[in-house]
A and B are shown apart, each in its own frame.
Chain A
Amino acid sequence: MNPVHYWRALWGIVGRELLRFVKQRERFISALVRPLVWLFIFAAGFRAALGIAITAPYETYILYEVYITPGLCGMIQLFNGMQSSFSMVYDREMGSMRMLMVCPLPRWFLLLSKLLAGTAVSVLQVYVFLAIAWFYEIEAPWQGYLWVLPALVLSGLMLGALGLLLSSFIKQLENFAGVMNFVIFPMFFMSTALYPLWKIKESSDLLHTLAQYNPFSQAVELTRFALYGQFNQEAFIYTFAAFVIFMAAAIIGYNPSKGMMTKKGGGAG
Chain B
Amino acid sequence: MMSPIALSIKDVSFSYAGKKALDHIDFKIQPGECTILLGPNGAGKSTLFSLITRLYDTRSGLIELCGFNVKQQTRKALAKLGVVFQQSTLDMDLTVMQNLRYHAALHGMGRKLATQRIREELERLNMYERRFEPVRQLNGGHRRRVEIARALLHKPSLLLLDEPTVGLDVPSRQDIVEHVHQLATDQKLAVLWASHLIDEIYPADRLIVLHQGKIKADGTVNEVLKLSNTSSIKEAFYQLTQGGQA
Contact = CB atoms under 8 A, between A and B. Distances in A.
B43 A2 contact: no
A99 B150 CA distance: 11
Contacts of B85: 95, 98-99
A13 B108 CA distance: 12
A103 interface: yes
Contacts of B44: 269
A256 B55 contact: yes
A269 B76 contact: no
Interface extent on B, as a size class? 35 or more
Nearest to A11: B105
A106 interface: yes
Interface in B63-92: 71, 74-76, 78-79, 81, 83, 85-91
Nearest to B99: A16
A105 interface: yes
B46 A268 contact: yes
The listed residue with most B CB atoms (<10 A of its CB), out of A6, A24, A101, is A101
B123 interface: no
A126 B199 CA distance: 55
Q: Which 6 residue pairs across A and B have the least CB separation, nearest first?
A: A12-B105, A267-B46, A5-B108, A269-B45, A257-B57, A103-B106
B91 A20 contact: yes
Contact of B94 (A9, A13, A16): A16
Nearest to A22: B93
B53 A266 contact: no
A19 interface: yes
Interface of B: 16-17, 21, 39, 41-47, 49-50, 53-57, 59, 71, 74-76, 78-79, 81, 83, 85-91, 93-94, 98, 101-110, 162-163, 194, 196
Interface string A1-44: 11011101101110110011001100000000000000000000
Given A256-B55, A257-B57, A268-B41, A9 B89 contact: no
Given A256-B56, A269-B39, 8 more contacts: A2-B108, A9-B106, A12-B101, A12-B104, A13-B105, A24-B93, A104-B74, A267-B49
Given A267-B47, A269-B46, A102 B83 contact: yes
Nearest to A92: B55
A6 B101 CA distance: 15
A143 interface: no
Nearest to B106: A103
A100 interface: yes
Interface string A94-129: 111011111111100000000000000000000000
A254 B138 CA distance: 33
9 contacts: A5-B108, A8-B109, A9-B105, A12-B106, A96-B91, A99-B103, A256-B55, A268-B42, A269-B47
Contacts of A175: none
Interface in A108-167: none
A261 interface: yes
A266 B89 contact: no
Given A11-B105, A94-B87, A103-B107, A1 B93 contact: no
Contacts of A16: 91, 94, 98, 102
A209 interface: no
The listed residue with most A CB atoms (<10 A of its CB), out of B43, B50, B71, is B50
